[in-house]
């Protein structure tokens, strides 16, 4: 578990060094740590950066990816749906790749803010919500996320494991929008998602 010794001074990141033997060294606590330990630091909002001890290259992204892989490998811990992973892989090298990171960041930020707001509302009523209390809200948020993902790749779900329905007569596909038009559409979709999330929150 992460503790106060893992933290750097206020406003500073904890520096983690990764050595050739794959060991991770926390320079704040002067101790070796594991991926599980770093996962706990993330969950406790302890900011850190990981450098290759030999080249001093920032390898934080690859280490965080390793943490996700480890979490997904644990029985009952899976968080990312298979179809989402397939769509995500499909965006590598895609013309929309540049827009996806910002979109995902905004979506998860909105999702997190909404859940925190719900927790505060329940606490104000004098009780702590159970897991089931969030089920409907989670389903609504995921539905919004799913619709937005289809905006990026409207035919992605045709690649799912289940056979698609009989295809309609062939027709000409519209030309791909220009980059600025795609960005405008993305911003509009995000605004619509936020408005729907706010509407759902007011009803709760």
Q: What is the pLDDT of residues 140-164, one digit of tens each?
A: 666 666 665 555 554 444 444 455 5
Last residue of a domain, one of 46, 73, 100: 73
49 and 115 co-located in one domain: no
What is the predicted pLDDT for the residue at 35? 95
Whether 47 has a pLDDT exceeding 90, the answer reads yes
What local confidence, expressed as pLDDT, does residue 161 receive?
Answer: 46
Q: Of 73, 91, 122, which residue sits at a domain end? A: 73
Are 32 and 39 a contacting pair, CB within 8 Å?
no
Q: Are residues 20 and 118 in the same domain?
A: no
CA-wise closest residue to 101 among 91, 111, 110 = 91
Q: Does residue 41 have a pLDDT over 60?
A: yes
Q: For the chain, what is the domain count?
A: 2
Statement to judge: residues 106 and 51 lie in one domain: no
Q: Are residues 87 and 133 in the same domain?
A: yes
Q: Three-state secondary structure along the chain?
A: CCCHHHCCCCCCCEEEEECCCCCEEECCCCEEECHHHHHHHHHCCCCEEEEECCCCCECHHHHHHHHHHHHHHCCCCCCCCHHHHHHHHHCCCCCCCCCHHHHHHHHHHHHHHHHHHHHHHHHHCCCCCCHHHHHHHHHHHHHHHHHHHHHHCCCHHHHCCCCCCCCCCCCCCCCCCCHHHHHHHHHHHHHHHHHHHHHHHHHC
Same domain, 95 and 59: no
Picking from 21, 51, 73, the residue at the C-terminal end of a domain is: 73
Same domain membership, residue 133 and residue 53: no
In degrees and rounded to multiples of 5, residue 121 shows phi and psi of -65, -40
Kindly state the percentage of the chain with pLDDT values over 90.
Answer: 26
Residue 159: which residues within 8 A CB-CB, separation 6 or more?
A: 86
Using the predicted structure, report yes or no on whether residue 3 has a pLDDT greater than 80: no
Q: Is residue 130 part of a domain?
A: yes
In the prediction, which pLDDT does 186 show? Answer: 60
With 60 as the cut, is the pLDDT of residue 130 above it?
A: no
5-9, 10-14, 57-61, 154-158: least confidently modelled range: 154-158
Q: Are residues 92 and 187 in the same domain?
A: yes
- Can you say how many angstroms the Cα of residue 158 is from the centroid of all Cα atoms in its chain? 24
Give the per-residue pLDDT at 150.
Answer: 59
The answer for residues whose C-beta is within 8 angstroms of residue 53's C-beta and 6 or more apart is 17, 18, 19, 20, 25
- CB contact at 8 A, 8 and 28: yes
Nearest to 39 by CA among 50, 28, 30: 50
């Amino acid at each position: 578990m992460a503790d106060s010794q893992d933290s750097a001074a206020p406003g500073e990141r904890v520096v983690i060094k990764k050595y050739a033997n794959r060991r991770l060294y926390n320079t704040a606590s002067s101790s070796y740590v594991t991926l599980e330990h770093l996962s706990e630091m993330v969950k406790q909002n302890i900011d850190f950066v990981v450098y290759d001890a030999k080249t001093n290259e920032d390898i934080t992204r690859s280490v965080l990816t390793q943490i996700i892989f480890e979490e997904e490998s644990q029985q009952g811990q899976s968080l990312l749906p298979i179809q989402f992973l397939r769509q995500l892989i499909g965006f590598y090298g895609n013309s929309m790749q540049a827009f996806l990171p910002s979109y995902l960041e905004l979506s998860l930020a909105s999702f997190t803010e909404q859940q925190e707001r719900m927790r505060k509302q329940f606490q104000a009523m004098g009780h702590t919500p159970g897991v089931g209390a969030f089920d409907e809200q989670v389903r609504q948020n995921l539905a919004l996320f799913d619709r937005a993902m289809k905006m990026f790749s409207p035919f992605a779900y045709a690649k799912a494991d289940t056979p698609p329905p009989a295809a309609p007569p062939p027709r000409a596909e519209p030309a791909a929008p220009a980059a600025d038009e795609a960005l405008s559409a993305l911003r509009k979709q995000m605004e619509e998602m936020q408005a729907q999330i706010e509407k759902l929150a007011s009803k709760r």
